[in-house]
Amino acid sequence: MYDQFKIRAEGVSAEVHRFPAQAEALEFLVEFLQSEGLADRAQHSAVFAACPFLSRIDRQPLDALEGLHFEVTRERAAEARFGISQMDWALADTGTLVQDATAIDKRLVSTLPTIHIALVATSAMRPDMPACLTGIDPKGIGYLAMITGPSRTADIERVLTIGVHGPERLIIIFFDELGGTN
């Protein structure tokens, strides 16, 4: 299923990576932020929405980064270059990420910044939407968000253009094991 997901997601311009464990995913995330110019000023900063991934890792490498904020406000999200959040499910047949986005910070970090980095457990992969939705109780989820690739439009002369109101890039990071390497 992962291979199918990767093909589908890359087909709609998402960037897909996979790591055996959370620690390696974290290492990639830190390197990515640094190489893309993370800094503590507008258009360079990052916002990270609270999620199980964060509570299970050793946050020391993240805390050391200048410009990465864990308290997500509307203002911080609006000026951030990076928004980071964990997604709850992935759909193999369309390359889609699914998230209970009832908490506003989860929506802010995936709508306002230029780059959205999505962390997903490989075990959260489902074959398709019906398989995923059957397992969901919608009454407990105020805002269910599905994301398939970055924001796009073809409203001018039918020419596909990436990044209108939402993120221009969607970086998807899968991790196979929930535990760290230690």
H or E segment to which residue 108 belongs: helix 104-111
50 is a site residue for another protein (CB under 8 A): no
**Binding residue for another protein (CB under 8 A) from 26, 29, 108, 171?**
108
Burial environment of residue 94 by CB neighbours within 10 A (0 to 12, 13 to 18, 19 or more): middle
Report the DSSP beta bridge partners of residue 161: 153
Closest approach of Cβ 23 to another protein, in Å?
31
Q: Which is nearer to another protein, 28 or 148 (CB)?
A: 148
127 is a site residue for another protein (CB under 8 A): no
10 is a site residue for another protein (CB under 8 A): no
135 is a site residue for another protein (CB under 8 A): no
The two most distant CA atoms of the chain are separated, in Å, by 54
Choose the binding region for another protein from 42-50, 56-64, 80-88, 100-108 (rule: CB under 8 A).
100-108
64 is a site residue for another protein (CB under 8 A): no
Residues 27, 123: Cα–Cα separation, whole Å: 20
Residues ≥6 apart with Cβ < 8 Å to 160? 152, 153, 154
95 is a site residue for another protein (CB under 8 A): yes
- The candidate with the shortest Cα–Cα distance to 148, out of 90, 100, 103, is 90
- The size of the chain, in residues, is 182
54 is a site residue for another protein (CB under 8 A): no
150 is a site residue for another protein (CB under 8 A): yes
- The candidate with the shortest Cα–Cα distance to 150, out of 110, 92, 104, 180, is 110
- The candidate with the shortest Cα–Cα distance to 38, out of 61, 12, 15, 59, is 61
Choose the binding region for another protein from 16-24, 49-57, 128-136, 173-181 (rule: CB under 8 A).
128-136
1 is a site residue for another protein (CB under 8 A): no
Contact footprint for another protein (CB under 8 A):
8, 12, 73-74, 78, 93-96, 102-104, 107-108, 110-112, 128-130, 133-134, 138-139, 141-159, 161, 163-167
